[in-house]
Amino acid sequence: MPDITVKLPDGSDLTVPEGSTVADVATAIGPRLGQAALAGKISDELVDTSHVVSDGDAIQIITEKSPEALHILRHSAAHVMAEAVKDLFPEAGFGIGPSIEDGFYYDFDVDRAFTPDDLVAIEERMRQIVAEERLFARSELTKLEAFDTFDGQPLKQELIQELPEGERISIYNQGQLTDLCRGPHVPHTGRIPAFKLMKVAGAYWKGDSNREMLQRIYGTAWFAEKDLEQYLTNIEEAEKRDHRKLGKELDLFHFDELAGSGLVFYHPKGARLLSTLIDWLSKDLYKRGYYEIRTPHVYRADVWKTSGHWDFYRENMYPFLIDEGEGKEPSEYAVKPMNCPGAVLVYASDMRSYRDLPMRLFEFGTVYRHEKSGVVHGLMRARGFTQDDAHIFCTGEQIVPEVKGMLDLVKFIMETFDFTYTAEVSTKPEKSVGRDEDWDTATKALMTALEEWGLPFEINEGDGAFYGPKIDIKVRDAIGRVWQLSTIQVDFNLPERFDITYRTAENTDERPFMLHRAIFGSMERFFGILIEHTAGAFPTWLAPVQAVVVPIADRHMEFAASVRKRLEADGVRCEVYAEQEPMRVKIAKAQQQKVPYMLVVGDKEAEDDSVAVRDRLQGDIGAMSVCDFGEMVLAQRP
Ligand SMILES: [Zn+2]
Ligand SMILES: [Zn+2]
């Protein structure tokens, strides 16, 4: 048989006999890779290991470690689930079965909803299919042949009808099930080592509420039993840590249907935590040469027309009309969805010179955006929220040092909260404003700043906003979830639209660059993430109540009140548990509220002017004077 030559990812060539499959290529590269091969990638297309390669193909072998591997595994698991359902429910109709984040699903047309017992039975049948190591065999048919093959499966036939004429249609068979599918799959069912069916939900065919309601079974699949276990533990942990649940238990905030969804009401404890956070950050920003501004919540529509929001963002805004009286046109106003124009108006309120730059203006600005009700989610996605916003007006040369300063701030904040973090740079999208040279300057400046600061980054080609490139910072929380938090953004658009300038040393007028940046992003969202990250056990410096004073008997009430008053005066956030409850109930309450310290006061303490301190984690740590206790708490500031 003649030989053909394929290209490997390292640039080298490999000669194999004609008719070789991806699996053969993998084995030729190394027997171990042959064992590990799950699929292949030719140019950008994923293919099965049974795919026959052609001369000149550039081939990459997909193993469990490849980024595409979990998708292939999960999609293969969906086929196995479908086969199990076919065995147990021979009358079932079949919809589609894609892989999704963390798992897969398959939609079935059955005459009753699946029960938890059904899931157990389906899972059991899946295990047998996996144990049989059945091959996923691919074949290609004409449209007509495919239509016949799926006789009695109207949903599949509907999908086939929609495929373009003349195209070969691929089907896969693994034992009892033949399914319409592009592939690829793992070589055989035995390569699906760890999986679990999670839940059932109703789902309309094609998401269309006029079509039939199908039963969707969700599952998850992993390459190792331990990964599956970790995933299940994380889900359980995430449920325990749900910020909406803890927000209620810790009495931090609520949402009120009377006011509308996505609008948060902070209760005293939530508000106190938020103020602590804002005061702490403000102090730090002043040290870094920022100045605070406060701008209005409502502007005449002219501001939004100038900024461009009126044309491009109005559906997310709260606009309204004001009656200006008899014979006059009503005025258009809108609540601010962004703080940026406010900062621009502060900049534009005076002549600015190069000596004023960089000008760093920060604002804890509350904005309102009308998010669709389907996406509103507790504090994570609210309709009203406060940004830790800042706008820096600077020259092109100042972008690098300014961004480095911001990265320093990011590091300080992420380390304070024990988050690990990564960076991504998003570059010029297809549709954009601004001169190419400005895009170039700004994009290079962001990357140079990251390089000089020593933070590795990935590049999201073409993912920048239409008005400039940006850096996104993502954090990993205590249970391994990743959240997009900080953004550092260059803007060519607003300085142009508001026609802002500065006077150079040569007495000419130049356009400044504008940088937007938010480290927490939205304070609400950060609060939500922090609740879930800490499971509500905030670090002492941030806890809304740092200590509760517990009088042993009624006669110690007065002393307890004086302890609270003195500690509050020193800046320690303090409460008295005055209810007549047994001590163990009070201890349990303080534990449940995750209060860092409990101060028990009785005769002896009243006499010595001391408190018996109980640490939430360490238990009793002995008696100390009220003053010493206050100092110990205050010393825990970051
Ligand atoms: Zn498939
Ligand atoms: Zn902004």
At residue 363, does pLDDT exceed 90? Answer: yes
Q: How far is CA 177 from the centre of its chain?
A: 37
At residue 148, does pLDDT exceed 80? Answer: yes
Residues 20-35, mean pLDDT to the nearest whole number: 94
- Banded pLDDT at 353 (limits 50, 70, 90): very high
Q: Is there a contact between 61 and 22 (Cβ–Cβ < 8 Å)? A: yes
The token pair that represents 98 in the structure block:
């894609």
565 is catalytic: no
- The SS3 of residue 615 is strand
Q: Which ligand is nearest to the CA of 82?
A: 1
Q: What is the pLDDT of residue 416?
A: 94
**What is the CATH architecture assignment of 3-62?**
Roll (3.10)
Q: Is there a contact between 590 and 540 (Cβ–Cβ < 8 Å)? A: no
389 is catalytic: yes
Catalytic choice (71, 241, 470, 594): 470
Longest dimension (CA), the chain: 100
Which letter, b or e, does each residue of 367-390 get, where b requires 16 or more Cβ atoms within 10 Å of its Cβ? bbbbeeeeebebbbbbbbbbbbbb
The token pair that represents 172 in the structure block:
């896969």
Q: What is the pLDDT of residue 119?
A: 96
The residues with which 200 forms a beta bridge, in sequence order, are 217
User: Distances from the Cα of 303 to the Cαs of 55, 96, 339, 498, 501, in angstroms?
Assistant: 62, 48, 12, 9, 18
Rounded to two decimals, the pTM is 0.78
Helix (H) or strand (E) holding 131: helix 116-131
| 176: DSSP letter | S
574 is catalytic: no
Say how many Å lie between the CA of residue 395 and the centre of ligand 2: 17
The owner of tokens 């509103």 is: 376
Say how many Å lie between the CA of residue 29 and the centre of ligand 1: 27
Say how many Å lie between the CA of residue 339 and the centre of ligand 2: 6
HSE of 16 in the Cβ direction (CA atoms, 13 Å)?
24
HEC-encoded secondary structure of 544-612: CCCEEEEECCHHHHHHHHHHHHHHHHHCCCEEECCCCCCHHHHHHHHHHCCCCEEEEECHHHHHHCEEE
Tens digit of each residue's pLDDT (9 = 90 or more) over 158-212: 999 999 888 899 999 988 889 999 999 999 999 999 999 999 999 999 989 899 9
Catalytic choice (24, 241, 309, 340): 340
Please state which CATH class domain 255-297+336-534 belongs to. alpha beta
DSSP letter string, 5-32? EEE-TTS-EEEEETT-BHHHHHHHH-HH
Tens digit of each residue's pLDDT (9 = 90 or more) over 366-379: 999 999 888 899 99
Q: Residue 359 carries which side chain, given as an amino acid letter?
A: M
**What is the CATH architecture assignment of 69-236?**
2-Layer Sandwich (3.30)
Domain positions in the chain are: 3-62, 69-236, 255-297+336-534, 547-634
391 is catalytic: yes
Q: What is the pLDDT of residue 361?
A: 98
Q: What is the pLDDT of residue 637?
A: 87
What span, in angstroms and rounded, lies between the C-alpha atoms of 481 and 531? 13
Say how many Å lie between the CA of residue 483 and the centre of ligand 1: 31
Q: Residue 125 carries which side chain, given as an amino acid letter?
A: R
Tens digit of each residue's pLDDT (9 = 90 or more) over 40-87: 999 889 999 999 999 999 999 999 999 999 999 999 999 999 999 999
The residues with which 4 forms a beta bridge, in sequence order, are 16
HEC-encoded secondary structure of 52-77: ECCCCCEEEEECCCCCCHHHHHHHHH
The token pair that represents 248 in the structure block:
């209620």
Residues 6+ apart with CB under 8 A from 238: 479, 481, 532
The owner of tokens 């793992």 is: 186
Q: Do domains 3-62 and 255-297+336-534 have the same CATH topology?
A: no
At residue 324, does pLDDT exceed 80? Answer: yes
Say how many Å lie between the CA of residue 513 and the centre of ligand 2: 12
Average pLDDT, the chain: 94
Q: What is the pLDDT of residue 238?
A: 86
Share of the chain above pLDDT 90, in %: 87
Residues 404-424, mean pLDDT to the nearest whole number: 95
Q: What is the pLDDT of residue 97?
A: 94
| 578 against 562, higher pLDDT | 562
Q: Which CATH number fits domain 547-634: 3.30.70.2200, 3.40.50.1000, 3.40.50.800, 3.40.50.10790?
A: 3.40.50.800
Q: Which ligand is nearest to the CA of 343?
A: 2
